Amino acid sequence: MATRPSLLELSPADLRGWFAARGLPGYRADQVRRWALVRRAAAFDEMSDLPKVLRADLAAAWTLFAARVADHRRAADGSEKLLLELADGQRIECVLLRDDKGHCTVCLSTQVGCGMGCAFCASGIEGVARNLSRGEIIEQMLHLQRLLGPPTGGERLSHVVVMGMGEPLANLDNLLPALDVAVADLAISVRRITISTVGLPRGIRRLADMNCQYHLAVSLHAPDDTLRNQLVPANRAIGIAAVLAAADYYFEQTGRRVTYEYVLIGGVNDQPDHARRLSALLRGRPSLVNLIPLNPTPELPFRPPAPAAVGDFAERLRQGGLNVEVRRRKGDEIAAACGQLRRGGGTGAKTTHQDTLP
């Protein structure tokens, strides 16, 4: 594993400062960032328009990739999942998703594990170890970007969803600088970046006050506090009313419609009465309900809903005046679907190992 610090931890200003301290012009820092973030360099030696002495100095002081790709899995639907081993030996997973229009989405983790304890989610089985650094979040994007075709080809990253392991709003200080890189260097529109949260009101309000224009997705999963306290233990200290008030504030400040994610669990929260109460809860709010049929985890005692139950639930919400989408399942073949990412890596088919990166 890398013993040198990661260059990705530096802000653009810090990197320019490193060059300035050595009497070098600022444009050299811009060249290095372009090689690392856009041209997909795996090592400083590939940066051919930099002097050899400078490349050697950079390699002696920094590393580009502090994490090792411990496992790489591919699914028939085009999804790919990486298990990354970080510099301290901790492990996280991240995912590349493709659609039939050539769009490529990266699904990023923000913590090693998750401390929210959602009863149906694999990410929290072992709890949370720590927040990821800004560089570790950026590095996920770069590792996933390297799975695409050549930079001159048709594939490019078009969307970012912060829906992997961890609670994003518990690590905003590191997440936001990483998303700045996605916008400024990878040319991903802020309107194509989604931050998914269990619903931490203080974090939601902080994003609203920044008017950052990211898309906010709130993981609701229940129409009342009694059931949500069971499925989302963090709700016991928050309550649905506070979550919705913060989400309303986000819409007021940004003008961006909030998505409410609702994992449908067979026999638990997928009944007609749940749909009726959810309609009453969200009616009148500019929002979208994203229904997610449960992706099962072997260790957890929950089952997916019947397809007919999913269709019935969606129709009842529509009749109740809500905008509804049913998420298309992707990556479940390699345990890369919603709720299946985990610290130690999941199971799945079509495994290769990719240990060639530094």
Q: Domains of the chain by range and CATH?
A: 11-61 (1.10.150.530), 68-352 (3.20.20.70)
| Mean pLDDT (whole number) for 67-90 | 96
| Mean pLDDT (whole number) for 39-43 | 92
Model pLDDT for residues 144-169, shown as the tens digit of each residue: 999 997 766 678 899 999 999 999 99
CB 109 within 8 A of CB 121: no
Examine the residue annotation and report whether 93 is marked as an active-site residue of this protein. yes
- Those residues whose C-beta lies under 8 Å from the C-beta of residue 232, and which sit 6 or more positions away, are 116, 117, 118, 119, 198, 199, 219, 221, 222
Q: How confident is the model at residue 344 (pLDDT cuts 50, 70, 90)?
A: confident
Question: What is the pLDDT of the chain when averaged over all its residues?
Answer: 93
Structure tokens at 315: 């129709």
Q: Is the pLDDT of residue 215 over 90?
A: yes
CA atoms 60, 62, 66, 68: torsion sign: negative
Examine the residue annotation and report whether 107 is marked as an active-site residue of this protein. no
Q: Which of 94, 104, 114, 338 is catalytic?
A: 338
Q: Is the pLDDT of residue 349 over 80?
A: no
123/93 Cα distance (integer angstroms): 10
pLDDT on residue 121: 96
pLDDT on residue 52: 96
Q: Is the pLDDT of residue 91 over 90?
A: yes
The structure tokens 């694999």 sit at 122
pLDDT on residue 86: 97
Structure tokens at 356: 């060639």
Report which secondary-structure segment, H or E, holds 323: strand 323-326
136/87 Cα distance (integer angstroms): 10
Q: Is the pLDDT of residue 224 over 60?
A: yes
| Mean pLDDT (whole number) for 281-293 | 97
104 beta partners? 98, 157
pLDDT on residue 356: 31
123/262 Cα distance (integer angstroms): 17
Residue burial 87-108, b: 16+ Cβ < 10 Å; e: rest: beebbbbbbbbbeeeeebbbbb
| Mean pLDDT (whole number) for 350-358 | 34
Q: Is the pLDDT of residue 89 over 50?
A: yes
pLDDT on residue 32: 97
33/38 Cα distance (integer angstroms): 8
Q: How confident is the model at residue 262 (pLDDT cuts 50, 70, 90)?
A: very high
267/254 Cα distance (integer angstroms): 37
Q: Is the pLDDT of residue 46 over 90?
A: yes
Model pLDDT for residues 233-260, shown as the tens digit of each residue: 999 999 999 999 999 999 999 999 999 9
222/198 Cα distance (integer angstroms): 12
Nearest to 248 by CA among 296, 199, 212, 186: 199
Model pLDDT for residues 15-35, shown as the tens digit of each residue: 999 999 999 999 999 999 999
Q: Which of 9, 85, 93, 333 is catalytic?
A: 93
| Mean pLDDT (whole number) for 60-69 | 95
Q: Which amino acid is at 321?
A: G
105/103 Cα distance (integer angstroms): 7
Length reported for the chain: 358
214/197 Cα distance (integer angstroms): 12
Q: Is the pLDDT of residue 357 over 60?
A: no
pLDDT on residue 324: 98
Q: How confident is the model at residue 178 (pLDDT cuts 50, 70, 90)?
A: very high
Q: Which residue has the higher pLDDT, 117 or 3?
A: 117
Question: Which of 12-16, 219-223, 339-343 bottoms out in mean pLDDT, i.e. has the lowest?
Answer: 339-343
Displacement of CA 234 from its chain's centroid (Å): 19
What angle in degrees, to the nearest 10, is found between the helix axes of 26-37 and 134-145?
60
